[in-house]
Structure 1
Amino acid sequence: MALSVVFIELMMCLTVCTLNSLLATNVPGTQVTQQGGQEEERAAAGDRADSFSLKCERQGSAREPVFSMNGDYIIGGVFSIHNYIEEVNHEYTAKPEPSRCTGRLFPFKLRHSHAMVFAIEEINNSTELLPGVTLGYNIHDSCATVPLAVQMTFQLLNGRDPVFHTSDNCSQSGAVVAIVGETRSTLSISMSRVIGSFNIPLVSHFSTCACLSDKQQHPTFFRTIPSDQYQADALAKLVKRFGWTWIGAIHSDSDYGNNGMASFLKAAKKEGICVEYTESFYRTNPQSRIKRVADVIRRSTAKVVIAFAAPGDVKILFEELSREPSPPRQWIGSEAWVVYQDFVQFNFCAGAIGFGIQRTVIPGLREFLLDLSPSKVAASPVLTEFWEDLFNCKLGKASAVEERVCDGSEDIKTLQIQYAGTSQYRVTTMVYMAVYAIAHAIHNAICVKTNSTTQCDKSIKLKPDQVLSQLKKVNFTQNGHDVSFDVNGDPVARYELVNLQKGKSGTIELVAVGLYDASMPEGQEFHIHRNITWMDGSTNVPVSVCSNSCSPGTRKMLQKGKPTCCYDCIQCPEGEISNVTDSPDCVPCPEEFWPNTQRDTCLPKPVEYLSFHEVLGIILAAFSVGGACLAIGTAAVFFRHRNSPIVRANNSELSFLLLFSLTLCFLCSLTFIGAPSQWSCMLRHTAFGITFVLCISCVLGKTIVVLMAFRSTLPGSNVMKWFGPPQQRITVVCFTFIQVLICTLWLVLSPPFPKKNLTTYKRRIILECALGSAIGFWAVLGYIGLLAVFCLVLAVLARKLPDNFNEAKFITFSMLIFCAVWITFIPAYVSSPGKLTVAVEIFAILASSFGLILCIFAPKCFIIVLKPERNTKKHLMNKN
């Protein structure tokens, strides 16, 4: 609404073009008498025609600048020296007077305007920058209001002459080529929209709103202070650096605060930071609104609060918080307020950190600021007001009895005031650099360097768009401060990291603890060179998280309905690990690895196989070797008594071959013990299959011999001549050859091979021999079983044949044991896991082998060794 009023006022103040011919009767020398005749009328008409011209006049009263100086080129300046505009009730009975500023006069903003004057005077005295050219200035006070800022912008565009356009020329008095200002982003946005269409550059020293980087909306805007986008990114990285993932956020309800907080929230989300609450307020809000924001801060669980707000807004909030102190909070401030000395009065601000503009020493500025005498002050209404407020006296004649008149003894150099500050400046430096940036742009537009000298042509009618074009290219260093602009009109973002620390005297001091440089590589932007003091004076970084970090071995599980920073820690499932803190997921271990107890690393799975070093392997190996020794011992007994009747009667050749095959059967079980290899896997199954077939073939041969022997005793039978020793040998060889052929085909087509069994047990690896072809394995076992069954049937048929030593009985028992062992082997083999499968197979081999040797040879050895009297032909032939 206020902006609309200003535009109406501006329209009223715009120049109007009048035709003097229409006002001829009111212009001296153009009146026509009745007695003049036609000649006088023509002469008068000619005079009127000569005076017909276009003339633009200002209708309203122009506001006088607070500081001004003529020059070859004029630079405008707009600063918020006051903070309010005087309210005037217009009765529309008289022409309104220019708006006047009222309220508090800001000494540091007065310093900004003086810094501009200082910079221009320094440039005018320079022999390197714009030699022979004088810069002038028109500096206005916007009263920190949008309407007056826009009005001052129009006035800078139009110039200061009452009549500024005639048929002959356009007035250049007061017309500017560039403008420095404003402090607040809201004011700069309004000014930029006005002057953007005229290609006049606006260089701000403190307007940080990221929205001003939009060249579509603000094509002529530049600034010497980094954009809030950079500051938002820097604040998010600062929060991330100290491990804070759960914070509160407050901001001014203004262009600066709203846009800055929007940029910060976006950057914080990218960094994985959660915001518990976001509250906005403004210093003119009702006290209830300010109290509500303070209560939110008091009740929150976040210990870190970031304030993206203007100093005046923050001060109002802190005053409310000081009435009822909240639990300790770690404050993080934007550069707008954290560097101001006004906040050291609040004890709970101790430990606050934030970013400030880099300080720079400007030689001579402090002396220039303090070079104020009563006579110089009296010449300026603004300086007069400043002087009177400073010394509480009245320059000139007092208007009231209680007012003290300044006596001329006042000396500003004796005061410690914010106006002069220190020799190192922050925002003031930005003003100083803004003026120098414009000066360099003008220099590049009108000056040419020839040999060692620079020639500047100040007669060039410089247009603002020429300054705009050159301003985009400036790149210089002044007092150690680099100045250049990117495509958006922004400088390189460099900040000073500041910390409010309690000194030894108990007062809070602003201390620079580090630097931030956005041009550095990722992760190297911060350089902290001094210890930071946190809230409550602690040197330990405060913790502000919604949930404690999940240790390695666990993963985060988000809590329903809460931000991503609020979660529970769940142990990784079996077989998975997490080896970083706050892992969102667990990852499975590789196949041959298994998590440790903490589930934060993968360890190689223990490898398991039937080893010679374990108890079961030792026992089975002992039985295997013992069985082989038993077979060899039996063979030795038989060989020693090879001529005894009992040995000769039981087919000694097949007996020795059977004992040899049994020895091999016992020994082949040793191939099943130890780590499987390619050769051991092929050997163990084929050796086992062939030796057992050889063994069963011998038993089968002996059984057939028994049957044939008794059949040959019948009258007229000559069966034995068809199954004599040669036929017995051929039978054994043929049966064994079939098994050899089966094993050969198995080894050629799909042999057994070693493999790591990763499925039977999750926590360990079983080294075993894969069958290769299951058909080959079961063909080998089936063939053995077929021979065993056939042998059992024949032995059963021969078991009742009359004889003192009928071997068929013992073969029957041995075959029953053999078949029983291998029938039970099949389900045990299939169901036994891991190395027990090998143990079952070895047990079956040993059990069947011991069954054969004990059932067939033990009775004979018993007679040979212990009952030699029964080892006679007479006893053997006795049928009773």
Structure 2
Amino acid sequence: MVVFLVVGLVLLPLAMCEVPLFKCPIRDPLPIIHKYFKSGDLIIAAIMSQIYTFCNPITFENYPSEELFDDLFHFNPSRTYLASMELLSTQGRFIPNYKCDAQNSPVAVITGPNSNICLHTAAILCIYKIPLISYGSAPRMDSKTQSVFFHQMFPNQAHQYMGILHMLLYFGWTWIGVISLNDETGERFVQDFIPMLSQNGICFDFIVTMPAIAFSSEIIKAMAEGVETYKIVMGSTAKVLVLHGEIQTMIIIRLFIQLPEGEDISVKATGKILILTAQMDFTSLPLQRNWDISFIHGAISIAIHSMELSGFQKFLQEKNLTSEKEDGFIRQFWQQAFVCSFSDSTVEKGETCTGEEKLKDLPGSVFETITTAHSYSIYNGLYAVAHALHAMHSSRFKHRVTVNSRQWNLPDQEWWQLHHFLKSVSFNNSAGERILFDQNGELVTEFDIVNWVTFPNQSFLRVKVGKMDSKAPPDKMVIIRDNAVAWPAAFNQVQPLSVCNENCTAGYSRRKKEGKPFCCYDCLACPPGKISNEKDMNECSQCPAGQYPNKDQNLCLPKDISFLSYGEALGISLATVALSFSFITALVLGVFIKHRGTPIVKANNRDITYTLLISLMLSFLSALLFIGQPEKWTCLLRQTAVGIIFSVAVSCVLAKTVTVVLAFMATKPESRMRRWVGKKLSSFMVLSCSLLQATICTVWLATSPPFPDFDMHSVTETIVLECNEGSVTMFYCVLGFLGFLATISFIVAFLARKLPDSFNEAKFITFSMLVFCSVWVSFIPTYLSTKGKSMVAVEIFCILASSAGLLGCIFFPKCYIILLRPELNNKGQLIKTKN
């Protein structure tokens, strides 16, 4: 039985293409089948080169303009349906659904490269269960019956989209433009691909479609739309354009690039990088033969993985007109490609064709002699059919039966059963690659990443600069050799940056611009205390504990340990002052002890005076507890010691003041105050006040005592070693009780300041308590407003200042009389009334 293996590449709407869609003729693709069929049993029809298979040689001179544009831009489904039905009709006679030469039935159809062609072909041929092999982008099948008989030499497009996504992320291109076809495939691309990019931080300056022309009457409208689209694309700040198209799209793009020459367009073209999907290839019209192709220089395209076939280029370069009988298109193609005409041609065009012209002499923009992805897919598709036929033929021989010593063949298998063998076909092609389909009938393969490099002579190269493996981990899905990529001339061979705005450098964070895509943002400096150590941080982060931001707020530096030490000037100064005042206090105490028998020392309870001087001396020395690295014992003693010592000192002052008042009142006749004047009252007041303060401190130490701590936040660049007060409430209770005693002492002394004694101690006590209260009232806001070791210095200053105020105001006048005016130190001067 004679079988036609029909390659149904029905591309009549592209009949005007001068550059063929596929790369070369394939020499006898089915040698393995010839072992099982006699010569002539198998006729391989329509398996010819891309050079001329579908390029109908129609010239502009004899082609009406309206029909020309109809064929250029309108992929007419009726022509595809017609060609599909012709395969089912008697050869040479077109009678739909009638075929008398059953021996010429097609067993499979290889279709493509346009998805619409595949879809329209499947609509007819799948009714007859004829297996279809598509080497172009697969259409979306609405019928399960169609998809059963459909086999794709084109991998799943989802893998391609994922690869483009990872490539954009690899180069850091987050601000792009998208151009798609104005048809169902373009809509599906936008629906599937755009959300994927948005979810991964890539946004769009524009998403436009290429103008569609259904009829010649719409050319003017389409040109106007094209101008507006051109302005959007070229006026965009996006440097990267993702272009989704199919085999015919390059023709439209080349027309699109020519718009500025025919229109007054003020937008200046800027450098753009094209990212082309795998469905696209370089095609053109005769009109475009000499058009500039530099626009594609530096473009990056995704292509189905392919390898150069052995002997492929040599076969093409030696191609001549001897195959005219087998291919009715070659003469017309020859005239188109070499701009010549044969002597018997009705169309006179250029010089006379000799037939000796060589395809290798044609520039790459007219004809390529390499194996492209589409050529490679056709080659593998043909061999897939051959191996499936071989498997089917072998299976048929296995089912012979023997009856009465004679072999009988079971009924022949139907050709539609070939699809079962196509699904399971697996073989190594002549390039040594494994070819097989997955469970969905899709080819299992990788994608190549191709960089386009053009030359002034209108030729170009497709340089493989990487690969894309959908089965690899996400971080290894795309592998690119950066140094092999040739970028467009506008970028001076430097990888371009395509972002909405400049990256926010370290030390800044992003803030979204209102009304703009999420990739567009302003850069704000990090607030104090925070850093950003990477580009384009959404938020600034706090430095870890123990570190602080540097001046540029892009790095965390370790903090220095800080405390008021004896090794620094402030610590030395305060320690010196404290020791000096304690030494002076000791001298005053020595003077009073030496002159303890004099009236001025004996007055107002000598023991209370000694106690006051000792407490003042201890208060000066207690300031030393605040200097140096905080330890556990120093933290326990600091505030409690100061609170108790000052309580003793202030209670002594209060006792002396009360003693003065009672002594004056006791001088009146028949006064009952005489029994209160004496040491017992003064001692009782000092002991009771001191014990009450000691009780408060004991409760503090028992419940929540102070402890050494680290203050990491008060001072930016340092870690402050401090004594944590533990219970702030108890701390202020100690200060509050001390303030209460000081206030009572001041009020009593103030009321007694005008008593008529020559040595009225109440006046001096008034001044001393005024100084004491002023110092400690100013201490609280100052203490709360300072940070770090400055807080310790403020407290030391308050201790020294208040103690010095008591010492100076109360005892210096007495020392002056004792040492410099001894004549005044007598009993007569002690009590002297006013006139």
Same fold (TM over 0.5): yes
The one-letter amino acid paired with 2:113 is: T
Q: Which residue of 1 aligns with 2:325?
A: 378
1:290-369 alignment runs, 5 A limit = 290=223, 292-294=225-227, 296-298=229-231, 300-302=235-237, 303-309=239-245, 310=248, 311-321=250-260, 327-332=269-274, 333-337=276-280, 339=282, 345-346=291-292, 348-349=294-295, 351-355=297-301, 356-365=303-312
Q: CA deviation at 1:193?
A: 3.1
Are the structure 2 counterparts of residues 460 and 530 from structure 1 closer, same or farther at C-alpha, using a change threshold of 3 Å?
Answer: farther
Choose the corresponding residue for 2:698, options 733, 744, 750.
Answer: 744
Q: 1:10-65 CA distances to partner (integer Å, 9 max, x unpaired)? A: xxxxxxxxxxxxxxxxxxxxxxxxxxxxxxxxxxxxxxxxxxxxxxxxxxxxxxxx
Are the structure 2 counterparts of residues 463 and 601 from structure 1 closer, same or farther at C-alpha, using a change threshold of 3 Å?
Answer: farther
Choose the corresponding residue for 1:497, options 449, 458, 472.
Answer: 449
Is contact 2:696-2:730 (8 Å) kept?
A: yes
Is contact 1:610-1:673 (8 Å) kept?
A: yes
Worse-matched range after superposition: 299-308 or 732-741: 299-308
Is contact 1:209-1:260 (8 Å) kept?
A: no
1:512-591 alignment runs, 5 A limit = 512-519=463-470, 520-524=472-476, 525-528=478-481, 530-536=484-490, 538-574=492-528, 576-587=530-541
2: distance between equivalents of 1:337 and 1:221?
21
1: distance between equivalents of 2:396 and 2:128?
30
Q: 1:826-877 CA distances to partner (integer Å, 9 max, x unpaired)? A: 6666677776665554444333322322233223322333344555678779
Q: CA deviation at 1:433?
A: 0.6
Are the structure 2 counterparts of residues 477 and 619 from structure 1 closer, same or farther at C-alpha, using a change threshold of 3 Å?
Answer: same
Q: CA deviation at 1:530?
A: 1.5
2: distance between equivalents of 1:518 and 1:585?
35
Q: Which residue of 2 aligns with 1:665?
A: 619
Helix, strand or coil at the partner of 2:480 = strand
Is contact 1:694-1:732 (8 Å) kept?
A: yes
Helix, strand or coil at the partner of 1:281 = coil
Choose the corresponding residue for 1:124, options 20, 23, 33.
Answer: 33
Gaps of 5+ in 2: 48-52, 57-74, 398-407
Is contact 2:312-2:371 (8 Å) kept?
A: no
Q: Which residue of 2 aligns with 1:100?
A: none
The one-letter amino acid paired with 1:535 is: A
Are the structure 2 counterparts of residues 767 and 657 from structure 1 closer, same or farther at C-alpha, using a change threshold of 3 Å?
Answer: same
Q: CA deviation at 1:571?
A: 3.8
2: distance between equivalents of 1:133 and 1:632?
133
Are the structure 2 counterparts of residues 826 and 414 from structure 1 closer, same or farther at C-alpha, using a change threshold of 3 Å?
Answer: closer
2: distance between equivalents of 1:847 and 1:425?
94
Is contact 1:124-1:133 (8 Å) kept?
A: no
Is contact 2:711-2:722 (8 Å) kept?
A: yes
Is contact 1:589-1:595 (8 Å) kept?
A: yes
Which one has a bigger Cα radius of gyration? 1
1:84-103 alignment runs, 5 A limit = none
Is contact 2:294-2:454 (8 Å) kept?
A: no
Q: Which residue of 2 aligns with 1:480?
A: 432
Q: Which residue of 2 aligns with 1:191?
A: 121
Are the structure 2 counterparts of residues 845 and 394 from structure 1 closer, same or farther at C-alpha, using a change threshold of 3 Å?
Answer: closer
2: distance between equivalents of 1:276 and 1:223?
32
Choose the corresponding residue for 1:220, options 137, 146, 149.
Answer: 149
2: distance between equivalents of 1:106 and 1:501?
21
1:102-141 alignment runs, 5 A limit = 104=16, 108=20, 114-115=25-26, 118-120=28-30, 122-124=31-33, 137-139=44-46
Q: CA deviation at 1:661?
A: 1.0
Worse-matched range after superposition: 148-157 or 365-374: 365-374
Choose the corresponding residue for 1:180, options 98, 105, 110.
Answer: 110
Q: Which residue of 2 aligns with 1:70?
A: 2
Gaps of 5+ in 1: 1-68, 85-102, 451-456
Helix, strand or coil at the partner of 1:433 = helix
Helix, strand or coil at the partner of 1:736 = helix
Q: CA deviation at 1:540?
A: 1.9
Q: CA deviation at 1:741?
A: 1.1
Worse-matched range after superposition: 560-569 or 368-377: 368-377
Q: CA deviation at 1:152?
A: 4.1
The one-letter amino acid paired with 1:581 is: K
Is contact 2:33-2:389 (8 Å) kept?
A: no
Is contact 2:33-2:390 (8 Å) kept?
A: no
Q: Which residue of 2 aligns with 1:150?
A: 81
Are the structure 2 counterparts of residues 495 and 294 from structure 1 closer, same or farther at C-alpha, using a change threshold of 3 Å?
Answer: farther
1:669-748 alignment runs, 5 A limit = 669-673=623-627, 679-702=633-656, 732-748=686-702
Q: Which residue of 2 aligns with 1:854?
A: 808
Are the structure 2 counterparts of residues 220 and 584 from structure 1 closer, same or farther at C-alpha, using a change threshold of 3 Å?
Answer: farther
Q: CA deviation at 1:748?
A: 1.8
Is contact 2:533-2:554 (8 Å) kept?
A: yes
Is contact 2:11-2:117 (8 Å) kept?
A: no
Q: Which residue of 2 aligns with 1:439?
A: 386
Q: Which residue of 1 aligns with 2:589?
A: 635
Q: 1:136-179 CA distances to partner (integer Å, 9 max, x unpaired)? A: 54549788753343344445467869999xxxx99852334432
Q: CA deviation at 1:78?
A: 0.5
Normalised by the length of structure 1, the TM-score is 0.72
The one-letter amino acid paired with 2:149 is: T
Helix, strand or coil at the partner of 1:360 = coil
Normalised by the length of structure 2, the TM-score is 0.76
Q: CA deviation at 1:431?
A: 0.8
Q: CA deviation at 1:467?
A: 3.5
Q: 1:475-512 CA distances to partner (integer Å, 9 max, x unpaired)? A: 44321333233344333453443334355x76552240
Are the structure 2 counterparts of residues 274 and 214 from structure 1 closer, same or farther at C-alpha, using a change threshold of 3 Å?
Answer: farther
Tell which has more relative contact order, 1 or 2 (C-alpha 8 A, sep 6+): 2
Is contact 1:678-1:753 (8 Å) kept?
A: yes
Choose the corresponding residue for 1:286, options 206, 214, 219.
Answer: 219
1: distance between equivalents of 2:175 and 2:670?
111
Helix, strand or coil at the partner of 2:474 = coil
1: distance between equivalents of 2:691 and 2:38?
116
Q: 1:296-325 CA distances to partner (integer Å, 9 max, x unpaired)? A: 425523444444342332333344455579
Q: CA deviation at 1:697?
A: 3.6
Q: CA deviation at 1:77?
A: 1.5
Is contact 2:640-2:697 (8 Å) kept?
A: yes
2: distance between equivalents of 1:760 and 1:346?
68
Is contact 1:213-1:488 (8 Å) kept?
A: no
1: distance between equivalents of 2:207 and 2:774?
79
Is contact 2:179-2:242 (8 Å) kept?
A: yes
| Coordinate RMSD, CA, aligned | 5.1
Are the structure 2 counterparts of residues 162 and 809 from structure 1 closer, same or farther at C-alpha, using a change threshold of 3 Å?
Answer: closer
Q: CA deviation at 1:791?
A: 4.8
Q: CA deviation at 1:686?
A: 1.0
Helix, strand or coil at the partner of 2:494 = coil
Give aligned-pair identity as a percent: 30
